[in-house]
Amino acid sequence: MLANKAKPARRRLDLVKGDQVVVIAGKDKGKQGQVLRTLPEQDKVVIQGLNLVKRHLKAGQRAGGGAQSMQGGIIDFEAPIHRSNVMLVCPNCGRPTRIRRITLPTGRKGMECLNCGQPIERVGRVEGQ
């Protein structure tokens, strides 16, 4: 019998929408892109133009008995990539880097690039993902 239920711990990724990242594993290894969306529950991110997957759509499928039919064809969409397969690109030194969490002089939480030692400032908000 399981005594411990899964905790509804709120995961938080250290990546946010708009971050520049480089893929370090898989078919898009070495490519850079911008984070479109984060999936904290799955530890995954969606990166613009990377990890494209082709999805085949059948023509003439009808949903809910409606009169309209979907156009068939093949579309590309960005599949989520696991956090461990990407690295943040430091906006200061432009290199893929690891980061350390720091408290900025202003008292706000921030990150520091372990490559160049510069604090990384976010355009977007880190909180409230």
Contact residues toward Zn ion (CB under 5 A) are: 90, 92-93, 113, 115-116
DSSP code of residue 6? P
CB closer to Zn ion, 115 vs 129? 115
CB closer to Zn ion, 44 vs 96? 96
CB closer to Zn ion, 16 vs 46? 16
How far lies 73's CA from each of 6, 15, 27, 56, 57, in Å? 41, 33, 24, 6, 5
Answer whether 47's CB lies under 8 Å from 32's CB. Answer: no
- Give min distance, CB of 97 to Zn ion, in A: 5
3 state DSSP class of 25:
coil
- Give min distance, CB of 45 to Zn ion, in A: 20
- Give min distance, CB of 12 to Zn ion, in A: 22
